Amino acid sequence: MEQTAIQVRNLRKSFRKRNGFRKKSELWAIDDVSFSVAQGETYGLLGPNGSGKSSLIRILSTLLIADSGYVNLMGFTLPEQQEQVRKIIGRVSVDAAFYKKLSARENLVYTALLYGQNPRAAEQRAIDILEQLGMENAKFSTPLEEMSRGMQQKISIARALMINPPLLLLDEPTTGLDPKSRRDVQSFLEDLQRREGTTILLTTHDMAEAERLCVRIGFLAHGKLVAEGTAAHLMRRAGAATLDDAFIKLTGEELVEEENELALVED
Amino acid sequence: MEATLRQTWAFLFRGWHITRRYIGWVVVFNFYAVVTSATVALIGVAQNNYQLTLTLVVGALLWNYLSFLYNEIAMSIAYERWEGTLEYTFMAPISRAVHLLGVSLFSLVNAIVTTIIVLIGLMLFTDLPFRGVNLFGVVVVLAVSTVAFVGLGLFAAVFPVMSAERGAEATHIFQGSILLVSGVYYDIAVLPGWMQPLSALSPATYTLTACRKLFGVGNPNSTAEYLAGAPLSAVTHELLILALMGAVLLPLGLWAFVRIEAWAKKTGKLKRTG
């Protein structure tokens, strides 16, 4: 029987927004979302900016506490067992947050130490990952501020994987990357999933990426999971020729990059 | 245990490499610390009053140490907010106590180095003899007050968790208030009456009072050539208060940090800004 790696039931999260001096309104970032991901599966969440993708990843990463609902990651519930959850997750976010003055090596060794790992072994693992991602060894000592966004994102992936997590949370890992870097990252994730059986939860705007990497896909709009299934299932259900059209038909939205007031509230 | 040691070392490793990369600014900050301390001490030299000079020198040295310690702890969290790495620290399987211990240890090393640099600088500008100073007593008082100031630093570190920008502002206002009420360069009796009770709440007040006694400030047996530092027993009262403050402030600072971290996770305030 397939084991469940991620189980989310009736998850809700709202943020308060100040409207004027005394008025406050409540905006739902995640509104009664339920889904599950099997161990070794790559599951994609698609939605425009402000649809709740990042809030969901942040809840699973122990960085945000949900208002209500049930979250279980590989047998550990959140937020009660967040200490155990932190040992089994790796996260890559859309913005590669690093100490930009430090080199890739210094940032990665710092992370290894933070996880209580042997820095030498972790450093070697990071070098192996970066080589697989098509990065030259010489760049390892270069300060992050001198690297392109694509390179920084590859370091970010190496950081998440150097602790060898069974569960990987990827929040738009290829957004803003050039086509070559995007392909490198996608190939690496495919290979990782095949080789290590890592469970991957991926949020993205990119339909082609979702189709290529994900076994199942969930459409998220205004904090609600409006549909889920394989790409073929979703297209059939919507009577659409492409996943893009299926998304528009099922959610009534387009995956355009637009500023959403919800993103501002969370800021 | 090995993992905990590595986690603690992580912050010293990070701090050392950041210091290395910002070495130009480190030199500038230390230069500024020496110059501001020297200009204060030279007021006493200009008055040809070694007791006044000594009062100012002790104030400058201790304020450099205590404020640097406090500021480094608070600002290291602010720095993590600016870089966006605080999320990754909070996501790591590390206890908050170990995290903040690591941050505090690096701040302590930094504060000691800066104080030594300022001391050397002050010795170039003043010709005070340090013979007769109860140096052992000074070290004991500093060690005890360090715990209280680490606690204050943890309290101040709460502000950047709440807000990246406003937090750093609040940290400096808090630091300025301690400078004002603690009698760093003057007797607290010169403060407005309504403000004087506040000085009793600052650990720096007791540190300065104790250290001035141990340096021989105000001791009739002190001369311009020899300082009659008091024995450690003469500062028992201050030591007890400082120990009590440390015992309260350190766990309270840690508790406040953990509470605010939970609040930030509930309200979504941890999201990267800037």
Average pLDDT of the residues in A59-77: 94
Mapped onto helix, strand or coil, the DSSP state of residue A129 is helix
Question: What are the tens digits of pLDDT across the range B183-218?
Answer: 899 999 999 999 999 999 999 999 999 999 999 998
Q: Is residue B166 part of a domain?
A: yes
> Is there a contact between A102 and B3 if contact means CB atoms under 8 Å apart?
no
Closest CA to A210 of A224, A190, A225: A190
Q: Whole-angstrom Cα distance, residue A263 to residue A52?
A: 9
Q: Whole-angstrom Cα distance, residue A77 to residue A83?
A: 10
Mapped onto helix, strand or coil, the DSSP state of residue A206 is coil
* Prediction ipTM score: 0.86
Average pLDDT of the residues in B46-64: 92
- DSSP-H helix ranges across A9-103: 53-60, 82-88
pLDDT at B96 over 60: yes
Q: Which residues of chain B neighbour A60 with C-beta distances below 8 Å?
A: none
- Cis before B93 (ω within 30): no
Strand A216-221, strand A224-229: pairing = antiparallel
pLDDT at B60 over 80: yes
pTM of the model: 0.86
Structure token digits, residue B118? 């300022």
Q: Whole-angstrom Cα distance, residue A46 to residue A31?
A: 15
Question: What are the tens digits of pLDDT across the range A255-264?
Answer: 554 444 444 4
Structure token digits, residue A60? 């699973």
The total of other beta-carbon atoms located within 10 Å of residue A49's CB is 16
Mapped onto helix, strand or coil, the DSSP state of residue A218 is strand
Tell me the three-class secondary structure of A4-69, residue by residue: EEEEEEEEEEEEEEEECCCEEEEEEEEEEEEEEEECCCEEEEECCCCCCHHHHHHHHCCCCCCCEE
Specify the pLDDT at position B270: 80
pLDDT at B234 over 60: yes
Q: Whole-angstrom Cα distance, residue B106 to residue B150?
A: 11
Find where tokens 């095949």 sit.
A194
Instruction: Give the closest-approach CA distance of A133 to chain B in angstroms.
Output: 22
Instruction: Give the closest-approach CA distance of A101 to chain B in angstroms.
Output: 6
CATH number at residue A133: 3.40.50.300
The helix-helix angle for B50-83 and B23-46 (nearest 10°) equals: 160
**A113 closest CB neighbour out of B9, B87, B273:** B9
**A86 closest CB neighbour out of B85, B93, B272:** B93
Phi, psi for B118 (deg, rounded to 5): -65, -40
Structure token digits, residue A121? 């072994």
Q: Which residues of chain A neighbour B266 with C-beta distances below 8 Å?
A: 64-65
Interface probe, candidates B12, B88, B98, chain A, greatest A C-beta count within 10 A: B88
Specify the pLDDT at position A265: 45
Counting the structural domains of chain B, the total is: 1
> Is there a contact between B85 and A91 if contact means CB atoms under 8 Å apart?
no
Q: Which residues of chain B neighbour A265 with C-beta distances below 8 Å?
A: 268
Mapped onto helix, strand or coil, the DSSP state of residue B61 is helix
Find where tokens 């979302």 sit.
A33
Closest CA to A167 of A16, A18, A8, A28: A8
Specify the pLDDT at position A266: 45
What residues make up the domain containing B190?
Answer: 2-267
> Is there a contact between A111 and B94 if contact means CB atoms under 8 Å apart?
no
Q: Which residues of chain A neighbour B89 with C-beta distances below 8 Å?
A: 114
Q: Are B178 and B204 contacting, i.e. CB atoms less than 8 angstroms apart?
A: yes
The total of other beta-carbon atoms located within 10 Å of residue A170's CB is 26
The total of other beta-carbon atoms located within 10 Å of residue A256's CB is 8
> Is there a contact between A97 and B88 if contact means CB atoms under 8 Å apart?
yes
Closest CA to B139 of B37, B257, B229: B229
Whether B273 contacts chain A with CB within 8 A: yes
> Is there a contact between B272 and A97 if contact means CB atoms under 8 Å apart?
yes
Q: Are A97 and A176 contacting, i.e. CB atoms less than 8 angstroms apart?
A: no
DSSP of B212-273 = HHHHTTT-TT--SS---PPPGGGGHHHHHHHHHHHHHHHHHHHHHHHHHHHHHHHHTTTS--
Indicate the average pLDDT of chain B.
Answer: 91
Instruction: Give the closest-approach CA distance of B102 to chain A in angstroms.
Output: 10
Highest mean pLDDT: which range of A20-34, B80-94, B116-130, B238-252: B238-252
Q: Whole-angstrom Cα distance, residue A72 to residue B161?
A: 27
Mapped onto helix, strand or coil, the DSSP state of residue A195 is helix
The helix-helix angle for A119-132 and A179-196 (nearest 10°) equals: 120
The total of other beta-carbon atoms located within 10 Å of residue B146's CB is 23
What residues make up the domain containing A165?
Answer: 4-266
Instruction: Give the closest-approach CA distance of B80 to chain A in angstroms.
Output: 8
Residues 94-153 of A with CB under 8 A from B: 95, 97-102, 106, 109-111, 113-119, 143
Closest CA to A124 of A167, A165, A162, A166: A162
Find where tokens 């050039």 sit.
A178
Average pLDDT of the residues in B15-26: 94
Q: A20-24, B33-37, B73-77, B258-262 — which is least confidently predicted?
A: A20-24
The one-letter code for the residue type at A189 is L
Residue of B nearest to A84 (CA): B93
> Is there a contact between A63 and B90 if contact means CB atoms under 8 Å apart?
yes
Structure token digits, residue A222? 């205004």
Instruction: Give the closest-approach CA distance of A117 to chain B in angstroms.
Output: 7
pLDDT at A102 over 50: yes
Specify the pLDDT at position A262: 47
**B84 closest CB neighbour out of A97, A113, A118:** A97
Q: Is residue B272 part of a domain?
A: no
Residues 61-90 of B with CB under 8 A from A: 83-85, 87-90
Q: Is residue B274 part of a domain?
A: no
Q: Is residue B273 part of a domain?
A: no
Inter-chain Cβ pairs, chain A and chain B, closer than 8 A? 99
pLDDT at B240 over 90: yes
Question: What are the tens digits of pLDDT across the range A208-228?
Answer: 889 999 999 999 988 999 999
> Is there a contact between A114 and B83 if contact means CB atoms under 8 Å apart?
no
> Is there a contact between A116 and B93 if contact means CB atoms under 8 Å apart?
yes
Q: Are A93 and B12 contacting, i.e. CB atoms less than 8 angstroms apart?
A: no
Closest CA to A151 of A139, A166, A162, A168: A139
Q: Whole-angstrom Cα distance, residue A248 to residue A253?
A: 5
pLDDT at B273 over 80: no
* Residue A138: DSSP 8-state: G
> Is there a contact between A114 and B94 if contact means CB atoms under 8 Å apart?
yes
**A99 closest CB neighbour out of B4, B14, B267:** B14
pLDDT at A70 over 90: yes
The one-letter code for the residue type at A207 is M
Tell me which of B180 and A206 has the higher pLDDT: B180
b/e map B69-83, b = 16+ CB within 10 Å:
bbbbbbbbbbbbbbb
The one-letter code for the residue type at A6 is I
Structure token digits, residue A24? 């406050």
Counting the structural domains of chain A, the total is: 1
Instruction: Give the closest-approach CA distance of B184 to chain A in angstroms.
Output: 35
b/e map A24-45, b = 16+ CB within 10 Å:
eeebbbbbebebbbeebbbbbb
